[in-house]
Chain A
Amino acid sequence: MEKKSKGVRLEHISKIYRDPKTKKDFYAVKDASITIDPGSFVTLLGPSGCGKTTTLRMIAGFESPDEGNIYLGDEAINELTPNKRDTAMVFQSYALLPHYNIYDNVAYGLKIRKLPKDVIHERVMKILDLVELTGMESRMTNQLSGGQQQRVALARALVIEPSVLLFDEPLSNLDAKLRVQMRTEIRRIQQEVGITAIYVTHDQSEAMAISDKIIIMDKGVVAQMGTPYEIYYNPVNEFVADFIGEANFLRGPMVGTEGEFAILDIDGHRCKVEKHDGMSEGSTYTAVLRPEASSLSDTDGVPCKVILSCFMGSYQNYHVMVGKTLVRLEEYNPKHKRIYKVGDECRLNFDPVSVYVLRT
C-alpha cells in the first residue's frame, strides 16, 4: 500500500447519553485520552456498556463527542462526517450490501471515489487475493459463509486504503474455531499492509492474541493502557486484574518484610508477596495471584482446605480456602501429580515474584 497510515489521538473525549427510562444524563465515555501510534494494532477491551463501541463510533464519525477533540494524524476531524473521514469500519454484522455481489461490494467505495474502471478492477482483485477470496467475485453475499462474509467486509474496508481501520467486534458472530482462525488472519493482513487498526472486543483472549496495545475500559473510563504483557502482569486495579484472565485477591495488612519481599497477613496466615516502594508496614494491600502460578503440596506454603477439585483435562482445577479467602488454582499436566480431594487439608504454595501487589 502506497499510503502512509496515520495515528489517532483522542483528547479528553466524553460522550453523554440520556437514559430513556430515568431521563438522566450519564457519561457513556468520560474524559478518555488515548494516543494510537501509526501502524499499530490497538484493542479497546471491556464488558458491554463500557463505552468501547461508542468510542470507536466517535472515531468513525457516527457519534459526535460532547467534550474533547479527535485527531487523525495531525488533522482535527471532529466536524467531519463519516463519509469525509479517512477511516474504514468493519461491522459486527458485516453490513455487506445484500443487493450487490462480492465484486461490487468491494468496489463500492472505489466507485464512490470515481476511480477509473481498470484501476478499480486491479485494486479489487488484488485485495480479494489478499483475503483469499479470488474466484468468488460474482457470488452474492448470502452465498458465503460467515467467515467469508467477514473477509469481504475486511476487503471492502481495506480497498479504499484508509489511514485507519476500525473493527467493531467483527468476530462475535462466528463460531469459536473460526474466531481463532480469523483473528490470526486479521492480524496477518494488518501487519502485511502496515495499517493502523483499532479493534473493539469484549473477548480478552482475542485482545491478547491480536494487539500491540490493549486499552481496558470500565464504565466509560479508560482503566489501563498497555501491552498485553503489562496488563496481565501489572494490572492497575482489581477490575483490570479480574477482567484479563482469572485472578485471586489476597487482602491483608503488611506485617513485615523478608529480604526483598513483603509479608501480608491473610486471615492469620503469613504470605510472602512481591514488594514495591511505597509499601509500609501496617497498611492493607491487595495482592493478585493468578491461578496457574500456584500449586498444592503437603509440606510447603500456607495451610488451606480443598473445597472443589475438578479434572479439566489439561489441568486440575481446585478451589481452596485460605482462612476465609477463596483461592482458585489450576495445576497443569496433572497426570503424575497427587490429586487432592474435597475436604483435604494441605498447603498452598506460590512463588512470591509472581504475586503482584496492586498500587491502589
Chain B
Amino acid sequence: MARGQGASLDKKKLMADPVMVTTIVLLITFLSLFILYPLAILLVDSFVGDGGGFSFSVFKRVFQIPTFTTAITNTLKVGFVVGLIATAVGLLFAYVEMYVRINRFASGLFKMVSMLPVVSPPFVLSLSMIMLFGKAGIITRYLLKIYDNSVYGFWGIVIVQSLTFFPVCYMMFKGLLKNIDPSLEEAARDMGASRWKVFTSVTLPLLLPGIGNAFLVTFIESIADFANPMIIGGNYDTLATTIYLQITGAYDKAGAAAMAVVLLCITLAMFAVQKYVLEAKSTATLTGKASRARMLIEDKGVRIPLSTLCTIGAAFVILMYICVPIGALFPTWGFKFFPLTLKWFKLVFTRYHGLKAFKDSFVLSFIAAPITALLSMIISYLVVKRKFRSKGFIEAVSMLAMAVPGTVLGVGYIRGFSGGLFHTGFMQGLYGTGAILVIVFIVRSLPTGTRSGIAALRQIDKSIEESAYDMGAGSLKVFTSVTLPLIKDSFLSGLVTAFVRSITAISAIILLVTPQFLLITVQINEFAEKGSYGLACAFATILIIITYGSVLLMNLFIKHFGTSRQIKED
C-alpha cells in the first residue's frame, strides 16, 4: 500500500492556497524564533559556556553554588506542599458547590473566587499577607498583639501561592464533577452505601486522574512563580528568584542559563506527565454527560459545616484582595492607618512617573493583546480544522510554551537576542525595544488563548467550514466569514485574557525591560523590595482597576454584541 499519491495531492492542494502557505510559514517562523530558539540557545550556552567547546563545566560550576542547590530543594518542597494544599482546597470548594445546597451569598462568593485567577495581578496576595500578618500586620500586631510574627519564608510562600492557585484547581474540579453522571452515585447509594462511602468509593476514584492533573498543574505554576517568592520569600530562595539574582546581582549570564535549563527540565518533565499520562486518563474516565441534575445534599449536618467553611475561606481570599487598595490609602504602612489619604497615589503620579508606567504598560499590552488573540485563533483553526504536515509542530510548540516558566524564557531572550541571533549581531536591534516586550507578552499568553480557542472550535461541526469551502470560499474567506464569527465570544475573551495577562506579567519581563520603559508590575516589585508598601499598593491598585475594568467591559460587550452564544443555546 502506498499513500504517496494522496499525500502529494494534499500538498499540491495546500500549495494552491497561498494564504494558507504564507500563514503556516509565518507561524512556524514565529514559533521557532521566539519559543524554540531561546530555549535552544540556553542549552547551547550552558554546554558551550565558559571555555568554549562542549563541556559540563558550567553545570558543574552552578551546582557548586550552595544557594542554587538549596533553591532546587526549596522550589520542589514549596511546589509539592502548594500542590497538595491547592488541590485539596480546590476540591473542597468544587465539591461543596456541585454537591451541597448553598445559599445565594455563598455562591456569589464562589463566583468571585473563580474569577480571581483571571484578574489577579501578581504580588497582590503577598502584599496583603504582609499587611495583615507581618511584623506590623493589622491582624497579628494590632488584633492579636503578636509583635514578632514573620510571614517571610517557606510558609509565607506556601500560603500565598496556595491562595493564588487553588481557584484554578477549583475550576478544574468543577468541570470534572459536572461530567460525573449522578446516577452512578445514586446507584451506590441505592445499594446501601453511606454518603462518605459513596464519596470514597465512587466519586474519588473517578476523580483520581483529575486530582493528579490538578496537583501537577499547580506544582508547575508554583515552581514557575516569580512574583510571590520575590516579595514574601525573604531569604528563602526559589529557582525563579535565584536565576533572577544570578543575572541582576551576579551578572553571570552563562550560569543563569544553566540554572534555567535545570528549571526548564523540571517543569517539562512534569508537563509531559500531566499532558500525556493524566490528561488523557482524566477525560477517559469521565466521558459520560450527566443524564440529569444531581440531587443536592440537604442534610444539615453536612451542609452547614461545609458551606460555612467554604464561605469563610472565600470571604478571606476576597478580603485579601480588597486589602491592597485599602492599604494604599493608609498614611504610613503598619503604623498609622487614619485618616485615609490619597498621598501615595499623588506621589505615584507626581514623583514616580505613574502616568508613564500606566501608559507604557497599557500601550504595550494593548498592542500585544489583539495579536495574541488573533494568533491563537489562527493556530486553533489550523490545529482543529485543517490537516497539513507541520500541524503537529505548530500544536506542540504552542503548547510547549505553557510549560516554560517566564524566568526561563526571559533568560533565553537575553542569551538569544542581546547579541543578535546566535550571537552574530543579526537582529540585534530588537533587544531592548518595546517590540521584544510585546513579543514576550504574546508568547506568554499564547498557550492559554490557543487552548480556549481549540476548545471553542471543537464545539463547532466541521462540516460548517467544509460547506463554505465547498461553496467556493478560499481559506481566508472561510476563516473570516465563518470561523471567526462563530467563535466571536471566545475571541473576545481571549483578547481580554491576553491583555490582562500581559499587563500583569512580570517574570520574563523583569529580565528584559530597559529603563526607557516603566511597567507597573516592575514598579510594584521595586517598591515592595524597598519596603515602600504604600507606593507598591498604590501601583497594584491601579493595576487591579485596569484588569477588573477590562473584564467588566468585556462581559458587557459580549452581553450586548455576542451573537454566537445565543445561536448555540437556542
A contact set with B: CB distance below 8 Å? 15-16, 25, 27, 60-67, 78-84, 87-89, 91-93, 95-99, 108-109, 112-113, 140, 142, 153, 156, 160
B346 on the A face (CB < 8 A): no
B4 on the A face (CB < 8 A): yes
Instruction: Determine if A95 and B461 form an interchain contact, defined as CB atoms under 8 angstroms apart.
Output: yes
For A65, give its contact among B6, B470, B567 (CB under 8 Å).
Answer: B6
Which residue on chain B has the smallest CB distance to residue A168?
A: B463
CA distance A16 to B5 in the complex (A): 10
| Selected A-B contacts with CB under 8 Å, 25 pairs | A15-B6, A16-B1, A16-B2, A16-B6, A25-B1, A62-B469, A64-B6, A65-B9, A66-B2, A66-B3, A66-B4, A67-B5, A79-B13, A81-B13, A83-B471, A83-B473, A84-B16, A89-B467, A93-B463, A95-B466, A95-B467, A97-B464, A97-B481, A98-B464, A142-B567
A25 in contact with B6 given A97-B482, A99-B486 (CB within 8 Å): no
For B17, B466, B563, B564, the residue with the greatest tally of chain A CB atoms inside 10 Å of its CB is B466
Instruction: Determine if A78 and B9 form an interchain contact, defined as CB atoms under 8 angstroms apart.
Output: yes
CA distance A109 to B468 in the complex (A): 8
From residue A22, how far is it (CB to closest CB) to chain B in Å? 14
CA distance A79 to B10 in the complex (A): 8
For B2, B463, B485, the residue with the greatest tally of chain A CB atoms inside 10 Å of its CB is B463
Instruction: Determine if A82 and B466 form an interchain contact, defined as CB atoms under 8 angstroms apart.
Output: yes
CA distance A160 to B470 in the complex (A): 11
Taking CB atoms, residues of chain B closer than 8 Å to A142 are 567, 570
Taking CB atoms, residues of chain B closer than 8 Å to A96 are 464, 467
CA distance A153 to B471 in the complex (A): 11
CA distance A142 to B567 in the complex (A): 7
Instruction: Determine if B473 and A99 form an interchain contact, defined as CB atoms under 8 angstroms apart.
Output: no
CA distance A4 to B463 in the complex (A): 28
Which residue on chain A has the smallest CB distance to residue B567?
A: A98
Which residue on chain A has the smallest CB distance to residue B20?
A: A81
Instruction: Determine if B461 and A109 form an interchain contact, defined as CB atoms under 8 angstroms apart.
Output: no
Which residue on chain A has the smallest CB distance to residue B16?
A: A81
Q: What 12 new A-B contacts, CB under 8 Å, besides A89-B467, A142-B570, A160-B471?
A: A16-B1, A64-B5, A65-B9, A66-B3, A81-B13, A83-B473, A84-B472, A99-B567, A108-B468, A108-B471, A112-B472, A113-B472
Taking CB atoms, residues of chain A closer than 8 Å to B486 are 98-99
Taking CB atoms, residues of chain A closer than 8 Å to B12 are 79
B429 on the A face (CB < 8 A): no
Taking CB atoms, residues of chain A closer than 8 Å to B549 are none
From residue A322, how far is it (CB to closest CB) to chain B in Å? 44
| Chain B residues numbered 3-31 whose CB sits less than 8 Å from any CB in chain A | 3-7, 9-10, 12-13, 16-17
CA distance A81 to B388 in the complex (A): 14
For B472, give its contact among A83, A91, A97, A140 (CB under 8 Å).
Answer: A83
B477 on the A face (CB < 8 A): yes
For A66, give its contact among B6, B461, B466, B473 (CB under 8 Å).
Answer: B6
From residue B478, how far is it (CB to closest CB) to chain A in Å? 8
From residue B16, how far is it (CB to closest CB) to chain A in Å? 6
A87 in contact with B470 given A93-B461, A98-B567 (CB within 8 Å): yes
CA distance A112 to B468 in the complex (A): 10
A60 in contact with B5 given A81-B16, A97-B482 (CB within 8 Å): no
CA distance A112 to B481 in the complex (A): 11
B474 on the A face (CB < 8 A): yes
A97 in contact with B13 given A25-B1, A142-B567 (CB within 8 Å): no
CA distance A16 to B486 in the complex (A): 33
Which residue on chain B has the smallest CB distance to residue A86?
A: B472
Taking CB atoms, residues of chain B closer than 8 Å to A87 are 470
From residue B6, how far is it (CB to closest CB) to chain A in Å? 4
Counting from the closest, the 4 A-B pairs by CB-CB distance are: A64-B9, A109-B471, A95-B467, A66-B6
B contact set with A: CB distance below 8 Å? 1-7, 9-10, 12-13, 16-17, 461, 463-464, 466-474, 477, 481-482, 485-486, 563-564, 567, 570
Instruction: Determine if B13 and A61 form an interchain contact, defined as CB atoms under 8 angstroms apart.
Output: yes
Taking CB atoms, residues of chain B closer than 8 Å to A83 are 469-474
Taking CB atoms, residues of chain A closer than 8 Å to B2 are 16, 66-67
CA distance A321 to B481 in the complex (A): 63
From residue B175, how far is it (CB to closest CB) to chain A in Å? 25
From residue A120, how far is it (CB to closest CB) to chain B in Å? 13
| Cross-chain pair count, CB within 8 angstroms | 106
Taking CB atoms, residues of chain A closer than 8 Å to B4 are 66
From residue A1, how far is it (CB to closest CB) to chain B in Å? 17
CA distance A274 to B7 in the complex (A): 50
Instruction: Determine if A88 and B567 form an interchain contact, defined as CB atoms under 8 angstroms apart.
Output: no
Taking CB atoms, residues of chain B closer than 8 Å to A91 are 463, 466-467
A82 in contact with B470 given A27-B1, A97-B464, A98-B464 (CB within 8 Å): yes
Taking CB atoms, residues of chain B closer than 8 Å to A66 are 1-6
CA distance A63 to B4 in the complex (A): 13
Which residue on chain B has the smallest CB distance to residue A15?
A: B6
Which residue on chain B has the smallest CB distance to residue A64?
A: B9
Which residue on chain B has the smallest CB distance to residue A153?
A: B467
Taking CB atoms, residues of chain B closer than 8 Å to A153 are 467
Instruction: Determine if A16 and B3 form an interchain contact, defined as CB atoms under 8 angstroms apart.
Output: yes
Instruction: Determine if B5 and A88 form an interchain contact, defined as CB atoms under 8 angstroms apart.
Output: no
Which residue on chain B has the smallest CB distance to residue A113?
A: B472
CA distance A153 to B461 in the complex (A): 15
CA distance A80 to B468 in the complex (A): 16
CA distance A165 to B3 in the complex (A): 28
CA distance A88 to B563 in the complex (A): 28
Taking CB atoms, residues of chain A closer than 8 Å to B567 are 98-99, 140, 142
CA distance A87 to B471 in the complex (A): 8
From residue A234, how far is it (CB to closest CB) to chain B in Å? 33
CA distance A112 to B461 in the complex (A): 21
For A95, give its contact among B463, B473, B474 (CB under 8 Å).
Answer: B463
Instruction: Determine if B469 and A82 form an interchain contact, defined as CB atoms under 8 angstroms apart.
Output: yes
Which residue on chain A has the smallest CB distance to residue B477?
A: A112
From residue A332, how far is it (CB to closest CB) to chain B in Å? 42
From residue B532, how far is it (CB to closest CB) to chain A in Å? 52
A88 in contact with B471 given A67-B5, A79-B9, A142-B570 (CB within 8 Å): yes
Instruction: Determine if B464 and A60 form an interchain contact, defined as CB atoms under 8 angstroms apart.
Output: no
Taking CB atoms, residues of chain A closer than 8 Å to B9 are 64-65, 78-79
CA distance A27 to B468 in the complex (A): 29
Taking CB atoms, residues of chain B closer than 8 Å to A78 are 9
For B471, give its contact among A80, A98, A112 (CB under 8 Å).
Answer: A112
Taking CB atoms, residues of chain A closer than 8 Å to B570 are 142
Instruction: Determine if A81 and B485 form an interchain contact, defined as CB atoms under 8 angstroms apart.
Output: no
Instruction: Determine if B563 and A65 form an interchain contact, defined as CB atoms under 8 angstroms apart.
Output: no
From residue A198, how far is it (CB to closest CB) to chain B in Å? 14
Instruction: Determine if A64 and B563 form an interchain contact, defined as CB atoms under 8 angstroms apart.
Output: no
From residue A273, how far is it (CB to closest CB) to chain B in Å? 41
From residue B17, how far is it (CB to closest CB) to chain A in Å? 6
Instruction: Determine if B470 and A99 form an interchain contact, defined as CB atoms under 8 angstroms apart.
Output: no
From residue A162, how far is it (CB to closest CB) to chain B in Å? 9
Which residue on chain B has the smallest CB distance to residue A30?
A: B1
Taking CB atoms, residues of chain B closer than 8 Å to A88 are 470-471
CA distance A99 to B488 in the complex (A): 11
From residue A72, how far is it (CB to closest CB) to chain B in Å? 14
Instruction: Determine if A89 and B470 form an interchain contact, defined as CB atoms under 8 angstroms apart.
Output: yes
Which residue on chain B has the smallest CB distance to residue A166?
A: B470
From residue B487, how far is it (CB to closest CB) to chain A in Å? 11
CA distance A79 to B15 in the complex (A): 10
Instruction: Determine if A64 and B13 form an interchain contact, defined as CB atoms under 8 angstroms apart.
Output: yes
Taking CB atoms, residues of chain A closer than 8 Å to B563 are 99
For B12, B467, B485, the residue with the greatest tally of chain A CB atoms inside 10 Å of its CB is B467
Which residue on chain B has the smallest CB distance to residue A66?
A: B6
Taking CB atoms, residues of chain A closer than 8 Å to B477 are 112
Which residue on chain B has the smallest CB distance to residue A63?
A: B6
CA distance A62 to B471 in the complex (A): 12
